Amino acid sequence: MAVKGKKKNLRLNSVSPGAEAVIYVILGLFALCCIIPFVFVIIISFSAESSIRSIGYSFIPQAWSTDAFRYAFRKLPQIWRSYFNSIFITVVGTALSTFMCALYAYVLYRPDFKFRGFFNFFSFFTMIFGGGLVPTYIVCKQVLGLNENYAALIVPLLVNPFNIIIMRTFFKSSVPLELIEAATIDGSGEYNTLFRVVAPIAKPGVATIALLNALVFWNDWYLSLLYIQRNKVLQPLQALLMELQNNVEYLSRMSGQMGAAAINEAAKMPTQSLRMVLVVLIVVPIACAYPFFQRYIVAGLSVGSVKG
Partner 1 sequence: MSRRLPETNPSARPNRYRFSKYKKPLVLLTMAAPTAIWLLLLRYLPMGGIVLAFKDYKVNPRNPSFISNLINSKWVGLNNFKFLFMTDDAKIMFRNTLAYNIVFIILGIVIPVAFAIMLNEVTKKFVAKAYQTMMFFPYFLSWVVVSYFLNAFIDGQYGMITAMQRAAGGDVTNWYTTMGPWPYIIVFANLWKNVGYTTVLYLSAITGIDSTQYEAAAIDGASKWQQIWYVTIPNLRTMICILFIMNVGKIFNADFGLFYSVPMNSGALYPVTQVIDTYVYRAFMVTGDIAKSSAAGLLQNVLGFICILTANGIVKKIDADSSMF
Name the nearest CA neighbour of 99 among 217, 210, 211, 174: 210
CA 168 – CA 102 distance, rounded (Å): 8
Is 242 one of the binding residues for partner 1 (CB under 8 A)? yes
Smallest distance from the beta carbon of 258 to partner 1, in angstroms?
Answer: 26
Helices (H), 193-270: 199-201, 203-219, 222-227, 237-244, 249-254, 259-268
Q: Within 13 Å, how many C-alpha atoms sit on residue 46's CB side?
A: 8
- Subset of residues 192 to 231 that bind partner 1, contact rule: CB under 8 A: 194, 215, 219-222, 225-226
Which of 73/113 has CB closer to partner 1?
113
CA 237 – CA 92 distance, rounded (Å): 16
Which of 261/294 has CB closer to partner 1?
294
> Using CB under 8 A, which of the segments 64-72, 74-82, 85-93, 274-282 binds partner 1?
274-282
> Using CB under 8 A, which of the segments 55-63, 72-80, 83-91, 196-204 binds partner 1?
55-63
Site size toward partner 1 (CB under 8 A) is 101
Q: Please, which contacts does 39-43 make with residues 24 or more away whose CB atoms are closer than 8 Å?
A: 41/276, 41/279, 41/280, 41/283, 42/276, 42/280
CA 136 to chain centre: 23
Name the nearest CA neighbour of 282 among 95, 46, 42: 42
- Subset of residues 143 to 202 that bind partner 1, contact rule: CB under 8 A: 143-144, 155-156, 158-159, 164, 189-191, 194
Smallest distance from the beta carbon of 261 to partner 1, in angstroms?
Answer: 24
Which of 128/260 has CB closer to partner 1?
128
- Subset of residues 60 to 99 that bind partner 1, contact rule: CB under 8 A: none
Which of 124/257 has CB closer to partner 1?
124
Kindly list the distances between the CA atom of residue 72 and the CA atoms of 84, 100, 137, 149, 268, in Å, as whole numbers in the listed order.
14, 37, 34, 25, 13
- Subset of residues 94 to 133 that bind partner 1, contact rule: CB under 8 A: 100-101, 103-104, 106-107, 110, 112-115, 119, 122-124, 126, 128-133
Q: Which of 7, 8, 35, 195 binds partner 1 (CB under 8 A)?
A: 35
Q: Which of 69, 137, 150, 250 binds partner 1 (CB under 8 A)?
A: 137
CA 41 – CA 32 distance, rounded (Å): 14
Q: Which of 7, 8, 26, 264 binds partner 1 (CB under 8 A)?
A: 26
